[in-house]
């Protein structure tokens, strides 16, 4: 085969490939400029009116339902109150039952629609931070890494169920953890070392309203509800009352627990005190 003949064949093959590829592209491309897989888009054909609306947000704290009712009763125009809700959002309960209550209170429907659209997401969880402090006897004695059979419990009621969190003291003291530090509580008379363990997790909590958290220690590993707590353990339980809002900027709860080593038995620990609090804004 001559060089000229070979060149002509290559040209014909290239033309056939180009024509075939063009026809395939025409068949594979849809009317909106996307291939069937949906991964390739022709942005020239986008309609800007289909993009989500942008809102100018205020740097002020979100409004509450009481704020909205107060503005309505003060005679502010419906459109102005709705605009304020749009700009500042609302840390409030935007459920259907709550909107019905607001309507009965005289809040205009335009404002109710703004609340429904711009309210913060409902709280469905809390970020729980737990800090364990184990205080030794002081002096030259080391903090024991042993513990008798014992469990620390935190119980949070959540509607018809109880959220139960527990820690095995033996496992806590015997392990090494990501946030495991030694602090110095030295005073003028007796130096003391405190081992501090910190844990954090996002935990479900779905029912809003007043709540009563309970902290206690027990030798039983099988406590699943408040009704399972033995009477002997209830006597030393510590209770903390807090209000769980329907929505909020933050959902952070903190539990601090101090255990003190027994003066006679190195592997025995006493729950001295605990503190529980939450931050919502």
What sign results for the dihedral spanned by CA atoms 200, 205, 210, 211?
A: negative
Average pLDDT over all residues of the chain: 83
Q: What are phi and psi of 114, to 5 degrees?
A: -65, -40
Percent of the chain residues past pLDDT 90, beyond the cut:
55
Give per-residue pLDDT as tens, 137-195.
765 567 788 887 789 999 999 999 999 999 998 888 888 888 888 877 666 666 678 88
Please give the pLDDT value at position 18. Answer: 44
With a cut of 80, say whether residue 241 has pLDDT above it.
yes
Residue 51 or residue 133, greater confidence: 133
- Please determine, for residue 17, whether its predicted confidence score (pLDDT) is greater than 50: no
What pLDDT digit, counting tens, does each position of 52-86 carry? 667 788 889 999 999 999 999 999 999 999 999 99
Region 230-236 average pLDDT: 90
Regarding pTM above 0.85, the answer is no
Report pLDDT for 157. 94
The predicted pLDDT at position 47 comes to: 61
Q: Say if residues 199 and 239 touch (Cβ distance below 8 Å).
A: no
Q: What is the mean pLDDT of residues 47-53?
A: 61
For residues 205 and 157, give the distance between their C-alpha atoms in angstroms, rounded to a whole number.
9
Beta strands in 60-189 (DSSP E): 125-135, 151-158, 161-168, 180-184
The residue among 74, 71, 99 whose CA lies nearest residue 85 is 71
In this predicted structure, what is the pLDDT of residue 31?
Answer: 46
Q: Report the pLDDT value the prediction gives residue 30, as an integer from 0 to 100.
A: 47
Does residue 37 have a pLDDT over 80?
no
Average confidence (pLDDT) over 207-221: 94
Asked if 116 contacts 145 with a C-beta cutoff of 8 angstroms, the reply is no
Supply the pLDDT for residue 192: 76
How far are the Cα atoms of 88, 133, 276 from residue 242, in angstroms, in the given order? 26, 23, 9
pLDDT over threshold 70, residue 2: no
Indicate whether 89 pLDDT > 90: yes
Task: Let me know: does 222 contact 95? Beta carbons within 8 Å.
Answer: no
Domain boundaries defined on the chain: 3-50, 65-118, 125-279
d(CA 173, CA 265): 15
Residue 15 in this model has a pLDDT that exceeds 90: no
Whole-number Å distance between alpha carbons of 142 and 157: 38
Residue 56 is predicted with a pLDDT of: 81
- Per-residue burial over 113-147, b if 16 or more Cβ lie within 10 Å, else e, is ebbeebbbeebeebebebbbbbbbbbeeeebbeeb
Q: What is the pLDDT of residue 51?
A: 62
Q: Say if CB 63 and CB 89 are below 8 A apart.
A: yes
């Amino acid at each position: 085969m001559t060089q000229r003949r070979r060149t002509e064949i290559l040209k014909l093959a290239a033309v056939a490939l180009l024509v075939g590829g063009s026809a395939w592209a025409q068949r594979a491309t849809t009317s909106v400029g996307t291939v069937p897989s949906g991964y390739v888009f022709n942005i020239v054909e986008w309609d800007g009116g289909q993009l989500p609306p942008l809102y100018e947000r205020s740097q002020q704290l979100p409004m509450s339902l009481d704020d909205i009712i107060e503005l309505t009763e003060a005679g502010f125009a419906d459109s102005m109150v709705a605009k304020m809700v749009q700009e500042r959002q609302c840390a409030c309960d935007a459920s259907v039952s709550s909107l019905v209550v607001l309507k009965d209170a005289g809040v205009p429907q335009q404002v109710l629609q703004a609340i429904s659209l711009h309210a913060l997401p409902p709280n469905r969880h809390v970020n729980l931070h737990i800090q364990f402090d184990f205080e030794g006897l002081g002096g030259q004695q080391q903090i024991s890494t042993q513990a008798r059979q014992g469990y620390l419990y935190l119980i949070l009621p959540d509607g018809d169920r109880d959220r139960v969190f527990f820690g095995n003291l033996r496992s806590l003291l015997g392990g090494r953890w990501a946030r495991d530090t030694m602090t110095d509580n030295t005073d003028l008379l007796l130096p003391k070392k405190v081992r501090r363990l910190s844990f954090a997790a996002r935990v479900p909590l779905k029912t809003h309203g007043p709540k009563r958290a309970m902290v206690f220690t027990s030798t039983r590993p099988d406590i699943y509800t408040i009704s399972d707590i033995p009477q002997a353990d209830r006597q030393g339980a510590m209770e903390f009352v807090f209000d769980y809002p329907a929505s909020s900027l933050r959902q952070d709860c903190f539990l601090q627990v101090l255990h003190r080593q027994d003066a006679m038995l190195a592997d025995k620990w006493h729950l001295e005190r605990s503190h529980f609090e939450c931050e919502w804004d």
